[in-house]
Each structure stands twice: as structure tokens, then as C-alpha cells.
């Protein structure tokens, strides 16, 4: 394949540690599979603020627009809590999503068999779980105007505006339907049409797109609060869930914990195709920067490694190689290797961040 370009943004906290393990995987694909990547690295979040006084330098933003995919570690930490909102580390990530127009956020919740007992739910509820939440990422209440904290009479008022256009809803709906066709061919759309006008529009547009373009896909609608309840009652009833920015944020974190650990879950944020046909894309683990364990070798690199697997599948059309990497992760877990976030079972082997990365590389070698 033509060498693909990849921008790595390790970020803050455990970000550099987990990204170091991804680099091992990238190196393995180059050495053993002849799949080379043109890798560059830059700063984001608190690391960028420390160096440049901004959570994302304009030059870094320009690089992100040019490469085939961006792989991000994590941003933030208490060191930056006192900063003005406009320069907090998270603003760098939000700028990437907004300016790259990454409107479709894919967050899988998959429970590996070896970790079924680790979930807080019963094994029969989560064993074999494989669902995908498609979250609209560039509009809704996180971006709507007006917003801010204002004086009204003798008190302060905080305002955020939930706003969606038909086109914004339609394109994320298409993303969910297209994905469902490659999975279980079933979509559940979640909103609050019972109390929110934006929810009424959301439901109407999703239904219209379905009827006109995807009648072969099974579509259902559910209020988001009921969806949260159903995710904890019987999550395997779902295949693809499509929802807005705010509800997607909440529901995907809920779904993440069905699998036992945020340290296990990747995500992909996709936009419109570039000139080469590849979608603009950013891949990142669901977990945060975990500054309390940074530098201690306790971080779980699997979510970041699986984020790279998603990049192989969605940005580089290397689905077989993505499956190869996912199988290597599954083998390591089946062999009982566990980072600190997954300890608690009997008969498992504690490993450090780097040891987990080495084990996955060894599993890739064994699978050749």
C-alpha cells in the first residue's frame, strides 16, 4: 500500500505512556507486514499549553488537516484546572473535532470473553456484547449559541443551547445506517422527543433518511433515558445506537462500563472524505489522562492500541490487519495478563503498561 500519514498527539497524563505502546504496534506492522506509516508527532492539551500558551497550536491544526489520520492519547489534568476556559486542555481536542468537521463519533462497547466476569453486570448479560454507539460530535448543546454565564437581575445564569439542523442530523444518521449494514443491520435512534423540540426534529429526520435511503435496515426509536435503562438491563438487544452529542457522551460512557474498564475502549471520530477518498479521522481511547497514575507503568494501553486498530479498518481499508490486532489483544487477555485496572480475578498475571504492549506484539508474532 502507499505509505499513509499518521499524526500522533500523545497529550497529557498517561497519554505518552499508552502511545509508546502503539508505536511498538506500528513498528511491528512495518517490520513484519510491510505496512509503513509516515508518522509525525506533536503536542496537544496541557503539553501544548506549556509549550505554546495554547492547547492546540495553529501549526498542529494545519498538520491534522493534511494527514490521513490523527491518533490522540489523552488531555487534561488538575495542573490546568485554574486556566481560563478558553485555553483549558480540552479545548484543543474540541478544536480538532470542530475544525476537522468530525461529526460522527464511533464508540464500540465490546466485552471480551476473558473479561466477562469483570463487568459489574451478570456474565450472561454482557458476555459476547458487541454494540456501537454513533454520537454526533460537532453540534448540539456543546456548541450551540447563545452560551455562557450571565448576570440576570441579582443572580448569575448559565446558558447552553441545544441546536441541530436537518443536515447535521441527516449526515450522522447516514453514518449509523451505513455502519449497521456492515454489522447486525439494526439501528436504534435515541433522543428526548417527548420534551425537546430538537428531539422531535431528530426523530423526524432519522426516520425520513431511513425511509428514503435505508429501508432495509431495521430502525427503532427510544427516549435516551429509557435507552440508558435498557443498556443496563439487556444491552445485547442493541446493535448500532445513534444519538446526539450530549446523550451520546453519557450513553457511551455508560456502555463503556458494561465491559468492565474504560481502559479497554477505543473510539473513532470521522468526517467527510478527503481528496484521496479517506475520511478525515481522529482516533482516541475513551479513557482520560489519569494523572494520578501517570509515569507509574499502571496504565492500560489496550484502548489506545484498539484505537489504532480502528484506524487500520476505517482510514486505511486494512480490515484484515485490524482483526489480526484485535485477535492479538484477545489472546493476551485470554492468557490472563492484566494491567492494574483489570486486577481482582484469581489466577491472572499483573503486567505493566510496557509489558502489556510487549505481550501484544508477541501475540502478533505468534499469529503470523
According to the annotation, is 82 in a ligand binding site? yes
295 is in an annotated binding site: yes
Residue 117, marked binder: no
Of 36, 50, 225, 317, which residue is the catalytic one? 225
Name the active-site residue from 36, 101, 130, 253.
253
Residue 290 assigned as binding residue: yes
| 361 vs 358: CA distance, rounded Å | 5
Residue 220 β-bridge partners: 188
Active-site hit among 63, 98, 142, 317: 142
From the list 239, 249, 283, 331, the catalytic residue is 249
Burial 71-109 (b: 16+ CB within 10 A, else e): bbbbbbbeebeeeeeebbbebbbbbbbbbbebbbbbbbb
Tell whether residue 279 is among the known ligand binding residues.
no
Asked if 32 is an active-site residue, the reply is no
Strands 130-136 and 104-110: antiparallel
Please check if 91 is assigned to a binding site: no
Q: Is 97 annotated as a binding residue?
A: yes
Does 83 belong to an annotated binding site? Answer: yes
223 is in an annotated binding site: no
Bond from prior residue into 88 cis (ω within 30 degrees of 0): no
Annotated ligand binding at 171? The verdict is: no
248 appears as a binding residue in the annotation: no
Kindly give the pairing relationship between strand 279-285 and strand 69-74: parallel
207 marked as part of a ligand binding site = no
Bridge partner residues of 55 (DSSP): none
317 given a catalytic annotation: no
Q: Is 77 annotated as a binding residue?
A: yes
Residue-wise over 50-70: b if at least 16 C-beta within 10 A, else e? eeeebbbbeebbebbeebbbb
> Is residue 89 a known part of a binding site?
yes
114 in a known ligand binding site: no
> Of residues 192, 214, 280, 314, which has the active-site annotation?
192
User: Is 80 labeled as ligand-binding?
Assistant: yes
Concerning whether 142 is annotated as a catalytic residue, the answer is: yes
Tell me if residue 253 is catalytic: yes
5 marked as part of a ligand binding site: no
Tell me, yes or no, if 341 is annotated catalytic: no
Annotated binding-site residue? 38: no
| Residue ranges of the binding site for NAD(+) | 77-90, 288-300
**Binding residue numbers:** 77-90, 97, 107, 135, 225, 249, 253, 288-300
Active site residues: 142, 192, 225, 249, 253
- List the binding residues for Mg(2+): 225, 249, 253
Binding annotation for substrate = 97, 107, 135, 225
Amino acid at each position: 500500500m502507499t505509505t499513509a500519514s499518521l499524526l500522533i498527539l500523545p497529550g497529557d497524563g498517561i497519554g505518552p505512556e499508552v502511545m509508546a505502546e502503539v508505536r511498538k504496534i506500528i513498528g511491528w506492522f512495518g517490520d513484519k507486514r510491510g505496512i509503513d506509516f509516515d508518522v509525525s508527532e506533536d503536542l496537544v492539551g496541557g503539553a501544548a499549553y506549556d509549550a505554546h500558551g495554547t492547547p492546540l497550536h495553529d501549526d498542529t491544526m494545519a498538520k491534522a488537516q493534511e494527514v490521513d489520520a490523527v491518533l490522540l492519547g489523552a488531555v487534561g489534568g488538575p495542573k490546568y484546572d485554574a486556566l481560563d476556559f478558553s485555553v483549558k486542555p480540552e479545548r484543543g481536542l474540541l478544536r480538532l473535532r470542530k475544525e476537522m468537521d468530525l461529526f460522527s463519533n464511533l464508540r464500540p462497547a465490546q466485552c471480551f470473553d476473558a473479561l466477562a466476569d469483570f463487568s459489574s453486570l451478570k456474565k450472561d448479560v454482557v458476555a459476547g456484547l458487541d454494540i456501537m454507539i454513533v454520537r454526533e460530535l460537532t453540534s448540539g448543546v456543546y456548541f450551540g449559541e447563545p452560551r455562557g454565564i450571565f448576570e440576570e437581575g441579582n443572580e448569575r445564569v448559565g446558558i447552553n443551547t441545544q441546536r441541530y439542523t436537518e443536515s447535521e442530523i441527516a449526515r450522522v444518521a447516514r453514518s449509523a445506517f451505513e455502519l449497521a449494514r456492515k454489522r447486525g443491520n439494526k439501528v436504534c435512534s435515541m433522543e428526548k422527543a417527548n420534551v425537546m423540540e430538537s428531539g422531535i426534529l431528530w426523530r423526524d429526520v432519522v426516520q425520513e433518511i431511513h425511509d428514503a435511503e435505508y429501508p432495509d435496515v431495521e430502525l427503532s426509536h427510544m427516549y435516551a433515558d429509557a435507552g440508558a435503562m435498557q443498556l443496563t438491563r439487556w444491552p445485547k438487544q442493541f446493535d448500532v445506537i445513534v444519538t446526539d452529542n450530549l446523550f451520546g457522551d453519557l450513553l457511551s460512557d455508560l456502555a463503556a462500563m458494561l465491559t468492565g474498564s474504560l481502559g479497554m475502549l477505543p473510539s473513532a471520530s470521522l468526517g467527510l472524505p478527503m481528496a484521496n477518498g479517506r475520511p478525515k479521522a481522529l482516533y482516541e481511547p475513551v479513557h482520560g489522562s489519569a494523572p494520578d497514575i501517570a509515569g507509574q507503568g499502571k496504565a492500560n494501553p489496550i484502548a489506545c492500541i484498539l484505537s489504532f486498530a480502528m484506524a487500520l479498518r476505517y482510514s486505511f481499508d486494512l480490515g484484515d490487519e485490524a482483526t489480526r490486532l484485535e485477535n492479538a489483544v484477545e489472546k493476551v487477555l485470554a492468557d490472563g495478563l492484566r494491567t492494574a485496572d483489570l486486577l481482582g480475578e484469581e489466577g491472572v498475571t499483573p503486567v505493566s503498561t510496557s509489558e502489556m504492549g510487549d505481550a501484544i506484539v508477541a501475540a502478533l508474532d505468534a499469529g503470523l
